[in-house]
């Protein structure tokens, strides 16, 4: 099992009440020499904290793909999507952990919620990854990301396109119901 280099954990529905927490299994895989991780799950704060802690034990990590399901479509009579929330401090912690993955060549962050207070942390994270060739960001936002924050983030990402492949898009979260 220590020869495992690739980990894919995918829940096609990302339904929170069906999705088991990921954080209890991470201590069991910290000893692996992972190079590729894809996580497409309903990730909670505890899961991202555990992932952030585990990343330091994967010095050869080259590709990281994380889908944070912020809007979850639950099949029911209710037409409004369920909104999942991950705290700002947890995302900051994740960014700091990713910044220490110095062999990372590809980083994809999908459905991550960005606020004004996280823009600098995101930029610092990307700047610290000297081997990074490709960066994809699909971020969601609400009123906690102002026009100034969006302008700063987009200007930064456009500047990084001279150094690497950068793809990004955004979507506005619906008002709280």
CATH number for the domain that contains residue 67: 3.80.10.10
Within-domain flag for 1: no
Within-domain flag for 117: yes
Within-domain flag for 30: yes
Tokens representing 153? 């983030």
Within-domain flag for 13: yes
Distance CA 115, CA 52 (A): 19
Distance CA 42, CA 4 (A): 23
Predicted pLDDT at 13: 55
Q: What is the end-to-end Cα distance of the chain in Å, rounded?
A: 46
The domain tally of the chain equals: 1
Q: Are strands 6-10 and 165-172 parallel, antiparallel or unpaired?
A: unpaired
Predicted pLDDT at 20: 57
Predicted pLDDT at 75: 52
Within-domain flag for 177: no
CB 149 within 8 A of CB 156: no
Within-domain flag for 53: yes
Phi and psi angles of residue 134, each rounded to the nearest 5 degrees, phi first: -135, 135
Predicted pLDDT at 8: 79
Alpha helices in the chain (DSSP H): 26-29, 45-55, 88-99, 116-128, 147-160
Distance CA 97, CA 108 (A): 15
Domain coverage including residue 36: 6-172
Distance CA 69, CA 12 (A): 11
Q: What angle do CA 16, 18, 24 make, to 5 degrees?
A: 85
Tens digits of pLDDT across the chain (177 residues): 567 788 877 766 544 444 556 666 766 777 778 899 988 877 888 888 888 988 888 889 999 999 886 555 545 544 444 455 789 999 999 999 999 999 999 999 998 999 999 999 999 999 999 999 999 999 999 999 999 999 999 999 999 999 999 999 999 988 764
Tokens representing 94? 């994740």
Model pTM? 0.86
Tokens representing 47? 């899961």
Distance CA 175, CA 17 (A): 23
Within-domain flag for 168: yes
Predicted pLDDT at 69: 65
Phi and psi angles of residue 169, each rounded to the nearest 5 degrees, phi first: -155, 165
Distance CA 66, CA 86 (A): 13
Predicted pLDDT at 15: 47
């Amino acid at each position: 099992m220590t020869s495992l280099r690739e980990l894919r954990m995918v829940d096609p529905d990302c339904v929170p009440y069906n999705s088991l927490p990921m954080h209890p299994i991470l201590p069991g895989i910290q000893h692996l020499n992972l190079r590729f991780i894809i996580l497409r799950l309903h990730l909670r704060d505890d899961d991202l904290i555990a992932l952030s802690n585990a990343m330091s034990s994967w010095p050869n990590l080259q590709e990281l793909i994380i889908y944070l399901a912020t809007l979850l479509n639950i099949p029911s009579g209710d037409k409004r999507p369920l909104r999942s929330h991950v705290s700002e401090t947890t995302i900051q912690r994740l960014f700091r952990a990713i910044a220490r993955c110095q062999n990372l060549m590809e980083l994809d962050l999908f459905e991550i919620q960005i606020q004004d207070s996280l823009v600098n942390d995101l930029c610092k994270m990307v700047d610290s990854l000297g081997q990074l060739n490709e960066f994809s960001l699909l971020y969601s936002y609400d009123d906690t990301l102002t026009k100034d924050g969006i302008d700063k983030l987009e200007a930064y990402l456009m500047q990084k396109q001279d150094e690497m492949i950068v793809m990004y898009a955004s979507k506005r979260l619906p008002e709280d119901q």
